[in-house]
Structure 1
Amino acid sequence: MIKLMNKFNHKLKLDKIIIYLIMVSNFLILFAYLPFYQEFQLFKNADNNFQLLRFDNIYYPRLKILSWSAFILLILFLIYIIKNQDQIKNNLFNYLIFSLFILFSLSTYFALDRFTALNGRFYRWEGFIALAAYLFFAFLIANLVNKIDYFKIYAYLIWGAASVLSIYGILQFFGVDFIKRDPLRENWYRAFSTFGNPNFAASFAVMILPTLIMLYLTLKKGKYKIAAFGGSSLVFAFLLTTATRGAWLAFALTVFAAIFLLFDFLKNKKKEIFKLLIVFILIIIILNSFHGGLMGLRFISIFHDLQDLSSAEEDEIDRVGTYRIFIYRNSLPLIMENPYLGVGPDNFAEIFPQEKYREFTGTKNRVVDKAHSEYIQLGVTTGIPALVIYLFLLLYVLYNLKPKTFNTINLESIKGKKKFIKTTLFLSVLAYSLQAALNISVVTVAPIFWTILGFAGAYIINYNEDDFEEESS
């Protein structure tokens, strides 16, 4: 049996299969947006009965892909680990991932609604199954990726997907949609592509855009540089058409951070930056001419909200950000009600004062099922220790990936490739982390982020030891 497993592992290279399966899963999750072809769908509930609810053509397919991928990956990993125990290293990244897994497990077991905590709330599906899959993706990538070519393959996959999804989102903004929508989204003109919501689309776009811009600035003349320029323009236009102000702010802050950290590099790229700025300005002007100047109105509303925040009127403050301040004000105290393990994954709606919210907003049936801040959501649902560990994980990654001062990057050399990988991973994680303060984790985007976080972990685990290989994978 052992000889057979050795032969199986040697011939098929399970580590490569696992890595590629995660990449394929990421790709399928991005594009698993089904036409709305039926009105209702049966969903199993906690009593083992079934509820007839609106057909979920967006989020539920992603959960299925995610859960089945994680199940297959678990089997492959168990086979792999039997003969390759020394491949899993003792490092802080693994300890943090494992700690989150333990805390999520305990939070699920002691949840107010254990069924929801395990499976996730309808139309959200971020229960323990999804959270554990995110962690597993990050863990596997961090420990199995040891070749630079894996970074390259995944980057091309995500950049290509982002460009295609951006085109689709931009078409939606102009009123063109070739996929039948559900009744909820039938008249939306803000772009959401395949992500189900403009805010979620923006969280993906802002995570990818800085890396495409960095690619354009780094490449020498040629078709790849032109492609990077076009991809940057498309994703920037897509980010604008989502009209998501939190993501716009996150992108602006990421740009400021890049200018501060990469000033020596950027000052030598004045010509490329000028071209990009001209195109970005033209995109803003063109897009703002549609839908009554939506872009300009959304931008101006940021300053209106800031003015309201400085107001002494509590009601005005609570209405800022489409009632986000009201939600934050009433969510933060909930963290202390179950400070150690929270109320359980995706159990936010069970504890939030729904009637108080409806009375304040004048809505009748709306349910607030997320805190509209990934960090507050995590604190309420899984507890303060999980929130602290997650924040420490992000800071640990950002600290270790913070780019050092450099004047140029030569992608022809192994050192240049490492420098580029480190910088783009830093910008991607930073942009997502910033927008997460005003947005939520969602099954259409989070698997991509955790995979990128896994690549960040792989870099941190390997770069000091110079373990990366330049050979083709």
Structure 2
Amino acid sequence: MKIDIKTAKKINLLLILFIVNLIPMIIRFSFPMHKDATKIWGSFINIDFYSYYKMIFFLTTSFFLLITFLKYVDQNGIKNTNYYYPIAIYSILVVLSSFMSEYKEIVIKGFPDRYENIFVLLGYLLLVVVAINVIDDQKSFKLILKALFISAFILAIHGILQFYNYDLFATEFGRDLITPDGLEFFVDRLSFIDRRVIYSTMYNPNYVGSYASMVGILVLGLYFSSQKRKRLLLLGIFSILLFAFLIGSRSRAGYMGFIVGIFILLFMQRKFLKNHWQRIIVIFTAFSLVFITMNARSLDSIFSDVLFPKTETEKYLEEEILPPITDVSSENDRLNLATAEAEFDIIMDSDQIEVLAKKPIKVYNSAKEVAEIIFKGYANHSFQVNDQENYIVWNYGGKSAQFHNRDDQIFMAGMHNNLYPLVEAESWGFEGYERLGSSRGYIWSRTIPLLKDTILVGHGPDTYAMYFPQDDVIGKLKFFSTPKMIVDKPHNLYLQIAINTGIISLIALLWLWGKYLLSSFFLFYQSKLNSWQDRLGSSLMGAVSAYLVAGFFNDSVISVAPVFWTLLGLGISLNSIVEK
């Protein structure tokens, strides 16, 4: 079948339109099977609503996009640009890390709840290449942006309703809408989040933060630079809606990306805004009203943890946290547990468990199989002792840890109740600041030592969880609520790339992103925004920057990343038009 250039271009545009419009909104019940991930995930089956079918739709659309793009290139040729070099390097390293990976199934299928496999990562790059070559006129740009804005508008409305506990998907009609016939039984047993926070169709509020900050900055930039009064009003209302969407996510990463994006817009569009400063006052007043109305956290609590972090000791002294855990260790059958204000010496021999402390104790229910021990003066501490099965549970505030004696060695129950020795994992940096960014400091400190094995080639797409020290039960107990949790993501886009596809692949992407941002800066920083290219170019620069800043605290995810890579492709294409 022969396709002419115009038809091939239209099909390419239509497929990109589908990706940016539909993928963020897809939510559908599925239960894909996994084998390699079982030792971490704990089950062959993963009940998923938010990622699996997004991945399926994205790969299907990308397949047809590749075919029609090759048809287009065959007749029209391919644009000559240096951007292909970092794209090619990253693509090669994605393939190499996949080929050399120990976990081939995860590389091909993706990890549960994430599904960014090898084909998805290559699909992201395909989006950039197609956008560079096919989206080359104002009509094409408008078509893609309109599709994105329609999707963002629907998601924002749904998210705001969700924030006020009017979630469509929590209703019987909504559950039927996202569930295949015959599987209603599973959905009826699931509880949807109901705590005044927006997670929308993206599963995690942090991903909403990345999406809303990126698209919000794009719309805000077009609002700032709008030349028509009617469009100014519509873009202003849309900006307020997306800001409410962002605020409702309560994502500090999204907030920080949005704020950095605003500074970039104000600088890049300063010459135009000098004569139109009133629109800045209007929109920031509206933002303030939204912030107050939605009862968001104070600015101090949002940013102080990241910009002005406190040590564990400082947080304890200021009564922000319970006295931190200072020691969890054992020697033969003796277990030592210590916090900043208490210390317990526990003897766990083969037939009896004895808890020793400086202050007297009371024992309740001692006649029963499990005895509860309460310490006078230590209201946050209690123990449950089972002499018959030789284990003890330590409850400390909201934390809980279970210790077992096996052949005169003491273990702690970790993920899936597996028993792990009391050995702390290798760490680097963030000592005393492990709670930084909701304990991201802990995750990063345990992730950085893994980089020595991924300098050239990574462990494979989506394999991060398989290499994180999940057996670090002491670290998890100290800095999370339970040692049984699974760390399946680094909460950092750059560490995610460095572990999965290698440090050199990360350098390639930094080259790609840095080249685009520098190009945008030099093209538009003196602009008076007289052309549509200048107005859109500075807005796209702000949007890409917002996503990359949020990426310091968030990961790449199939719900959001296709939109980012499309906007990056649009920005590169637009810059090439302006350069000519």
Measured against the shorter chain, the TM-score band is 0.7 to 0.9
Number of corresponding residues: 441
Q: Secondary structure at the match of 1:92?
A: coil
Residue aligning to 1:125? 115
CA distance in structure 2 between the aligned counterparts of 1:83 and 1:261, rounded to whole angstroms: 38
% identical aligned pairs? 28
1:148 aligned onto 2:150: no
| 1:268 aligned to which of 270, 275, 278 | 275
1:23 aligned onto 2:22: no
Listed as ranges, the matches of 1:78-97 within 5 Å are 78-84=70-76, 87-97=77-87
Residue aligning to 1:430? 545
Shift of the alpha carbon at 1:79? 2.9
Q: Indicate conservation of the 8 Å contact 1:59/1:125, yes or no.
A: yes
1:359 aligned onto 2:498: no
CA deviation vs aligned residue, 1:176-209 (integer Å, no higher than 9, x gap): 1011376364334210121111100110110011
Listed as ranges, the matches of 1:228-307 within 5 Å are 228-288=235-295, 294-296=296-298, 299-304=300-305, 306-307=307-308
Shift of the alpha carbon at 1:256? 2.1
1:323 aligned onto 2:439: yes
CA deviation vs aligned residue, 1:265-315 (integer Å, no higher than 9, x gap): 222222111111211111111111xxxxx422x742531454444667777
Q: Indicate conservation of the 8 Å contact 2:20/2:562, yes or no.
A: yes
Q: 1:331 to 1:185 in 2, by over 3 A?
A: farther
CA distance in structure 2 between the aligned counterparts of 1:302 and 1:430, rounded to whole angstroms: 19
Residue aligning to 1:385? 504
CA distance in structure 1 between the aligned counterparts of 2:259 and 2:513, rounded to whole angstroms: 19
| 2:88 aligned to which of 83, 87, 98 | 98
Q: Indicate conservation of the 8 Å contact 2:26/2:53, yes or no.
A: yes
1:212 aligned onto 2:202: no
Q: Indicate conservation of the 8 Å contact 1:348/1:369, yes or no.
A: yes
Residue aligning to 1:169? 159
1:222 aligned onto 2:229: yes
CA deviation vs aligned residue, 1:442-466 (integer Å, no higher than 9, x gap): 000001111111112212333322x
Q: Which moved more, 1:197-206 or 1:15-24?
A: 15-24
CA distance in structure 1 between the aligned counterparts of 2:511 and 2:236, rounded to whole angstroms: 34
| 1:59 aligned to which of 42, 51, 74 | 51
Counterpart of 1:324, as a letter, is R
Residue aligning to 2:578? 463
Q: Indicate conservation of the 8 Å contact 2:16/2:144, yes or no.
A: no
Query: What RMSD over aligned residues (CA atoms) do the two structures have, in Å?
Result: 2.4
Counterpart of 1:31, as a letter, is M
Q: 1:9 to 1:430 in 2, by over 3 A?
A: same
Q: Indicate conservation of the 8 Å contact 1:245/1:299, yes or no.
A: no
Q: Secondary structure at the match of 1:205?
A: helix
CA distance in structure 1 between the aligned counterparts of 2:305 and 2:577, rounded to whole angstroms: 47
Q: 1:308 to 1:123 in 2, by over 3 A?
A: same
Shift of the alpha carbon at 1:66? 0.6
Q: 1:260 to 1:95 in 2, by over 3 A?
A: same
Shift of the alpha carbon at 1:44? 4.8
Q: 1:102 to 1:15 in 2, by over 3 A?
A: same
Shift of the alpha carbon at 1:364? 4.2
CA distance in structure 1 between the aligned counterparts of 2:431 and 2:163, rounded to whole angstroms: 33
CA distance in structure 1 between the aligned counterparts of 2:578 and 2:308, rounded to whole angstroms: 46
Q: 1:310 to 1:41 in 2, by over 3 A?
A: closer
Q: Secondary structure at the match of 1:192?
A: coil
CA distance in structure 2 between the aligned counterparts of 1:323 and 1:342, rounded to whole angstroms: 25
TM-score by length of 2: 0.72
Residue aligning to 1:469? none
CA distance in structure 2 between the aligned counterparts of 1:63 and 1:299, rounded to whole angstroms: 38
CA distance in structure 2 between the aligned counterparts of 1:165 and 1:138, rounded to whole angstroms: 24
Listed as ranges, the matches of 1:187-202 within 5 Å are 187-202=194-209
Shift of the alpha carbon at 1:320? 1.8
CA distance in structure 2 between the aligned counterparts of 1:459 and 1:131, rounded to whole angstroms: 23
CA deviation vs aligned residue, 1:205-245 (integer Å, no higher than 9, x gap): 10011221222222245332211111000001111110011
Unaligned runs of 5+ in 1: 289-293, 411-415, 466-473
Unaligned runs of 5+ in 2: 176-186, 315-429
CA distance in structure 1 between the aligned counterparts of 2:191 and 2:511, rounded to whole angstroms: 38
CA distance in structure 1 between the aligned counterparts of 2:443 and 2:66, rounded to whole angstroms: 38
Between the two structures, name the one with larger relative contact order (CA 8 Å, sep ≥ 6): 1
Q: Indicate conservation of the 8 Å contact 1:112/1:347, yes or no.
A: no
Q: Indicate conservation of the 8 Å contact 2:108/2:118, yes or no.
A: yes
Q: Indicate conservation of the 8 Å contact 1:240/1:295, yes or no.
A: no
| 1:332 aligned to which of 448, 462, 479 | 448
1:369 aligned onto 2:488: yes
Shift of the alpha carbon at 1:404? 3.1
CA deviation vs aligned residue, 1:311-347 (integer Å, no higher than 9, x gap): 6777751012121000111111111122111111111
CA distance in structure 2 between the aligned counterparts of 1:299 and 1:170, rounded to whole angstroms: 24
Shift of the alpha carbon at 1:121? 0.2
Q: 1:91 to 1:277 in 2, by over 3 A?
A: same
Residue aligning to 1:470? none
| 1:178 aligned to which of 168, 180, 185 | 168
CA distance in structure 2 between the aligned counterparts of 1:232 and 1:462, rounded to whole angstroms: 27
CA distance in structure 2 between the aligned counterparts of 1:324 and 1:417, rounded to whole angstroms: 41
Q: 1:301 to 1:14 in 2, by over 3 A?
A: closer
Shift of the alpha carbon at 1:73? 1.5
Q: 1:359 to 1:456 in 2, by over 3 A?
A: same
Counterpart of 1:132, as a letter, is L
CA distance in structure 2 between the aligned counterparts of 1:418 and 1:132, rounded to whole angstroms: 28
TM-score by length of 1: 0.87
Q: Which moved more, 1:246-255 or 1:383-392?
A: 246-255
Q: Secondary structure at the match of 2:462?
A: coil
CA distance in structure 1 between the aligned counterparts of 2:109 and 2:493, rounded to whole angstroms: 19
CA deviation vs aligned residue, 1:65-101 (integer Å, no higher than 9, x gap): 11101111222233333333xx213321122212211
CA deviation vs aligned residue, 1:328-373 (integer Å, no higher than 9, x gap): 1111111112211111111111111112143332424321111100
Structure ranking higher in helix proportion? 1
Q: Indicate conservation of the 8 Å contact 1:32/1:194, yes or no.
A: yes
CA deviation vs aligned residue, 1:21-53 (integer Å, no higher than 9, x gap): 11112211021123x5xxx724254599xx653
Counterpart of 1:71, as a letter, is F
Counterpart of 1:206, as a letter, is S
Residue aligning to 2:513? 394
